[in-house]
Amino acid sequence: MSRLRTLHDLAPVAFAALVALGGFAGVATAGVLPEDRADILYHRYDGGGVTIDGPSLLVRKKFLEKFSVSANYYVDMVSSASIDVVTTASPYKEQRDQYSLTFDTMRGKTTYSLGYTNSKENDYQADTAFFGLSHDLFGDLTTISMSFARGWDIVQQRDAITGGVDPDFREHVDRRTYSMGLSQVLTRNLVAGASFETITDEGFLNNPYRTVRYVDPTSAVGFSFEDEIYPRTRTSNAVSIRGRYFLPYRAAVHAEYRYYNDTWGILAHTGELGYTHPLGEKWIFDLKYRYYTQDAADFFSDLFPRAQAQNFLARDKELSTFVSHTAGFGATYEFPGGIPYMPRFVKKGTLNVRWDHIFFDYSDFRDIRVSGVAAGTEPLYSFQADVLQLFVSIWF
């Protein structure tokens, strides 16, 4: 019986997306509320047999000079024939809709933020609420920030035959995120930052459709599938540092490093280097390289020796040992307000394109689409993906 996979792995990320949008991913700068602006983005991910595209609309506006409100509507339209899908099920199409709302207010040197996100697809719903504050010190050279987010997910399952949601399967996930950040102006040309984030998840953390494989001499291919079993809790810690430096001829370089570990035994390092180069008054170009490496979760295996080999079983490549390299390029063109066909309230705008190319190289996850080889000797899996972003921003 073929079973459908879903965006289960993507939906919980709504949680992280909210925190990212809500003012703690660089939206807040010292001293002032963020500017009023609107962005319309078209995003497209193509790789490993998966195509996901859709829009993202973001509007931010100040009210009464004291509050800044931002609203985001985001859609993922998925067309998936990924390696997991083709080896255990059939290609599928699906859509995930996400809505976010955040409020920021500034009192003296402190900014308070409140936000809410809802993400929905036909078998997964995620709600997240967050509260945060940031405070400027030492002549606005230092900014400290803290936030707390709480998420509630409802996990359901679609019946492959009827296509409807199975009424007997309804699980929950509780998520809590605690974040702290510090930003420090070091010189006229150098800003540095550090963040720390702890996330705890509790509940049904795996994907009800995903399976693991084990050695099965009775099977024609030498292996059989069984359901994955995950722990019901996961706690992770991540620490990152970053810096941005202004080059005298007007350009900027940035570097970032993140260390991650969690109770599932995953240890990851992330490093990023970037260069931003403006050209005249109208153009800005960005170049970026990102390196990511992770060690597999304790209970991950591409091929277990027998059925029910251990208490927890995972074969999700997201939890395997792998390295990824990303090269990114971006171009921004700024146009002034007052050009033909532009509403009068538009002060300025930008046209933007970004392209990232990602290489994924797995060390302990195999490509089981390859037949005719002994189980466990299939080639290691790797794939490349293209990420395209086209967006228009206006300031008003």
Tell me which residues in 76-105 interact with another protein (CB under 8 A). Answer: none
Among 118, 125, 235, 363, binds another protein (CB under 8 A): 235
Q: CB 257 → another protein: shortest distance, Å? A: 10
Q: How far is the CB of 95 from another protein (least distance, A)?
A: 15
Using CB under 8 A, which residues numbered 101 to 160 contact another protein?
Answer: 108-110, 133-146, 148
Under the criterion CB under 8 A, does residue 381 sit at the interface with another protein? no
Whole-angstrom distance, CA of residue 301 vs CA of residue 59: 44
Binding positions for another protein, 201-230, rule CB under 8 A: none
Kindly indicate which of the ranges 206-214, 220-228, 242-250, 301-309 contains the residues binding another protein, using the contact rule CB under 8 A: 242-250
Contact assessment for residue 49 and residue 83, using Cβ atoms and an 8 Å cutoff:
yes
**Conformational region of residue 280, where left means phi above 0, alpha means psi within -120 to 50, and beta covers everything else:** left
Q: Which stretch binds another protein (CB under 8 A): 153-161, 164-172, 195-203, 212-220?
A: 195-203
364 contacts another protein (rule: CB under 8 A): no
Residue nearer to another protein on the CB measure, 284 or 375: 284
- Report which secondary-structure segment, H or E, holds 302: none
Question: CA-to-CA distance for 194 and 183, rounded, in angstroms?
Answer: 6
Hey, which residues between 158 and 177 contact another protein (CB under 8 A)?
A: 177
Minimum distance from residue 280 beta carbon to another protein (Å)? 13
User: What span, in angstroms and rounded, lies between the C-alpha atoms of 312 and 172?
Assistant: 19
Judged by CB under 8 A, does residue 263 bind another protein? yes
Q: How far is the CB of 273 from another protein (least distance, A)?
A: 14
The full DSSP string for 98-156 is EEEEEEEEEETTEEEEEEEEEEEETTEEEEEEEEEEEEEETTTTEEEEEEEEEEEEEEE
Q: Which of 79, 261, 363, 384 forms a contact with another protein (CB under 8 A)?
A: 261
Contact 116, 128 (CB under 8 A): yes
Residue with tokens 């697809």: 121
254 belongs to the binding site for another protein (CB under 8 A): yes
Q: Is 75 among the residues that bind another protein (CB under 8 A)?
A: no
350, HSE (Cβ side, Cα atoms, 13 Å): 21
Residue 225: exposure state from Cβ atoms within 10 A (0-12, 13-18, ≥19)? middle
By CB under 8 A, tell whether 39 contacts another protein: yes
Q: Name which of 295, 317, 292, 328 is nearest 367 in CA terms.
A: 317
319 binds another protein (CB under 8 A): yes
CB of 148 to another protein, least distance (A): 7
DSSP 8-class letter at 21: H
**Per-position x/- string for 323-362, each x denoting binding to another protein as judged by CB under 8 A, each - no binding:** -x---------------------------x-x-x---x--
Pick between residue 137 and residue 273 the one whose CB is nearest to another protein.
137
